[in-house]
Every structure is written in structure tokens, then in C-alpha cells.
């Protein structure tokens, strides 16, 4: 808002100065000065330009009117006095114009002081006087304390009468009555019956299982290598393999181990399924394959 105010004042100065110029120059001066005014960016530069236009109008009018007055005086034969020239200048620079220029200059000075931070610096330099706040608290008059009693003889006394019969405190029996606290009612518990153990019969090679001699590696037969390997197989209810056989325990010979795995794989469909309570089930179990040379 402050920037708009400064721009408005500066623009008014430019227009006022152009209109106070001679009529033959006023329109051209206003056009040129407004174009020059628009090129200036800062508010302070525009304000200084407006004041300069006012001063330029004064100079132009003085130089423009003086030759015309001299020519008119020479043509009429009259002698121009200094008072006539003074009258022309004072009519151009009227008291209102001087007041407007003074007010404009004062506003420009104030705007320049705010823009440069001069006002803030002056305020900081002034050390404000310390403010003393008086703590005015309301004092409530309290009644004076009561004097201590002086007539102690008429004070009320409390006496405990002595019983007429002796009390034997040692033989007094004290009985404590403990209320009968009943616990929660007994909740009948149902005995947990353990299921009977499952009768399990592990499966293994069954009827029609291949002969071990057919899978005895020839190299181990020539070298006389013998041994027993443990193979784990997984079968279904019909004795068929459900996964590849794996070696559970080596025989000590890689050739014998490979022969045992080939034998276990060839026996698919000829395994005896595992029985649980007489029912065939799928399961995994190991069995031994022995390779030996008979004499």
C-alpha cells in the first residue's frame, strides 16, 4: 500500500508539471515524462523524478515567457518594469504550488527514511525508560486474635469413674469368631481319556522286489568290495515311491551306495506299505541293502 501511495504522488507530480508548461509543449512533455517515469523501478527514483519535472516546468516557463514579454513591451513602446516580471513569476509559482511541493517533499523524506531503515535505527538507539510496575495488593484487615483464657477454674473437666469391683485382666478370655467362608463350589471334572496307542507296522521291500545281485556293481565284484548301505524311501498306500530314494547311511563304497539307490528306485510298486491299526498309510522309512560275494 505504501508503494502505491508513493507511485501515485510521483505520477501526479509529473502530470501536474506537464500541464503547467506552455500549451505548445504540455502534451509532448507529458508523453515523454510519463514514458521516462515508467522506466524507473524504485519508488524513490520516481519521486525524485516527479520533483525534478516540477522544477523543469518552472525553468521552461520562465525562459519561454520572458522573451514574449520583452517583445510585447518593445512593440507597444512601453517600458517593462521589474514588478511586471515579478508578477508573471508569482502567478506561475502560486502559494498552492509551493504548499504541494513542500508536502510532497516531506512525504518523500518520510518514505525514504522508512525504505532505508533509518527510522528503525533511531528507535533502537533510543533507550526506553524502565517501566516500574507497582504491586498494589489489597490488604484485608484481619480481626485481632482472641486473648488466652484466664479463668482456668471454671473450665469443664472430664473425669473417669473408678469401677466398684476389681477386674482380673489376666484371666479374661478373648474369643475371636472367624466367619465361615465357603469356597467356590466344586466343579465336576470330566476325566480325560487317553486314546489307545496306534499299532504301527513299518513297511519295507515286499513281494516281487528286485534281487540285490542284479544291482551289484561289476567293478566292486571284481575288486571284492562288500558292504551294507541304508536307504530311505517314501511310499504311498500301494507301495509306490512318492519321492526319490535318499542315502541314510553309506556303505563305505561310492559304487555300492549308487547300486543301493538304483535298487530302491527299481523296487517302486513292490514295497509293503506301512500299516496303522491295520490300515495302509503313506510313510517314509529306511531299509538295509547288503552286497556280499558268496563262495
CB atoms inside a 10 Å sphere around CB 77? 6
Domain-embedded: residue 96? yes
Range of the domain at 68: 2-72+83-124
Torsion of the alpha carbons at 62, 65, 69 and 70, rounded to the nearest 10 = 70
Per-residue pLDDT of the chain in tens (295 residues, 90 and over written 9): 666 777 788 788 878 877 877 777 778 878 887 888 788 878 788 778 878 888 887 777 776 665 555 555 544 443 333 334 434 444 444 555 656 667 777 767 777 667 776 556 554 554 555 555 555 555 556 777 777 666 555 554 545 556 565 656 566 555 555 666 666 666 667 777 888 888 999 999 999 999 999 999 999 999 999 999 999 999 999 999 999 999 999 999 999 999 999 999 999 999 999 999 989 999 999 999 999 988 6
For residue 198, which of 276, 275, 274, 273 has the smallest C-alpha distance? 276
Of 94, 109, 124, which residue constitutes the final position of a domain? 124
User: Is 109 found in the same domain as 205?
Assistant: no
For residue 264, which of 220, 225, 234, 227 has the smallest C-alpha distance? 234
User: Is the torsion defined by CA of 57, 60, 64, 70 positive or negative?
Assistant: positive
d(CA 274, CA 272): 7
For residue 88, which of 109, 68, 74 has the smallest C-alpha distance? 68
Domain-embedded: residue 171? no
d(CA 257, CA 244): 14
Domain-embedded: residue 92? yes
User: Is 229 found in the same domain as 117?
Assistant: no
291 in Cβ contact with 216 (< 8 Å): yes
User: Is 216 found in the same domain as 102?
Assistant: no
d(CA 212, CA 193): 48
Output the domain CATH number for residue 260.
3.30.1150
pLDDT of residue 93: 47
229 in Cβ contact with 251 (< 8 Å): yes
pLDDT of residue 11: 80
pLDDT of residue 26: 77
Domain-embedded: residue 168? no
pLDDT of residue 121: 58
Domain-embedded: residue 190? no
Domain-embedded: residue 225? yes
pLDDT of residue 226: 94
Domain-embedded: residue 157? no
For residue 232, which of 248, 212, 251, 249 has the smallest C-alpha distance? 248
Domain-embedded: residue 155? no
Total tally of structural domains belonging to the chain: 2
For residue 17, which of 2, 32, 4 has the smallest C-alpha distance? 32
User: Is 120 found in the same domain as 7?
Assistant: yes
Predicted TM-score (pTM) of this structure: 0.36
Phi-psi region of 205 (alpha: psi -120 to 50; beta: other; left: phi over 0): beta
Amino acid at each position: 500500500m505504501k508503494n502505491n501511495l508513493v507511485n501515485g504522488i510521483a505520477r501526479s507530480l509529473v502530470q501536474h508539471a506537464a500541464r503547467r508548461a506552455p500549451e505548445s509543449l504540455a502534451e509532448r512533455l507529458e508523453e515523454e515524462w510519463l514514458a521516462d517515469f515508467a522506466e524507473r523501478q524504485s519508488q524513490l527514483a520516481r519521486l525524485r523524478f516527479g520533483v525534478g519535472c516540477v522544477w523543469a516546468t518552472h525553468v521552461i516557463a520562465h525562459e519561454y515567457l520572458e522573451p514574449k514579454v520583452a517583445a510585447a513591451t518593445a512593440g507597444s513602446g512601453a517600458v517593462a518594469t521589474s514588478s511586471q516580471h515579478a508578477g508573471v513569476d508569482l502567478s506561475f509559482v502560486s502559494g498552492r504550488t509551493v504548499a504541494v511541493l513542500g508536502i510532497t517533499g516531506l512525504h518523500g523524506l518520510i518514505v525514504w527514511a522508512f525504505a532505508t531503515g533509518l527510522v528503525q535505527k533511531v528507535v533502537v538507539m533510543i533507550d526506553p525508560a524502565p517501566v516500574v510496575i507497582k504491586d498494589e495488593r489489597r490488604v484485608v484487615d484481619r480481626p485481632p486474635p482472641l486473648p488466652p483464657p484466664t479463668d482456668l477454674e471454671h473450665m469443664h473437666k472430664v473425669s473417669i469413674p473408678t469401677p466398684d469391683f476389681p477386674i482380673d485382666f489376666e484371666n479374661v478370655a478373648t474369643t475371636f469368631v472367624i466367619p465361615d467362608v465357603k469356597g467356590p463350589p466344586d466343579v465336576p471334572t470330566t476325566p480325560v481319556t487317553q486314546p489307545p496307542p496306534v499299532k504301527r507296522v513299518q513297511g519295507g521291500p515286499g513281494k516281487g522286489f528286485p534281487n540285490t545281485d542284479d544291482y551289484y556293481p561289476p567293478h566292486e565284484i571284481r575288486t571284492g568290495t562288500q558292504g551294507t548301505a541304508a536307504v530311505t524311501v517314501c511310499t504311498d498306500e500301494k507301495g509306490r515311491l512318492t519321492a526319490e530314494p535318499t542315502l541314510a547311511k553309506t556303505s563305505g563304497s561310492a559304487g555300492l551306495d549308487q547300486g543301493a539307490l538304483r535298487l530302491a528306485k527299481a523296487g517302486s510298486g513292490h514295497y509293503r506299505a506301512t500299516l496303522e491299526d491295520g490300515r495302509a498309510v503313506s510313510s517314509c522309512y529306511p531299509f538295509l541293502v547288503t552286497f556280499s560275494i558268496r563262495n
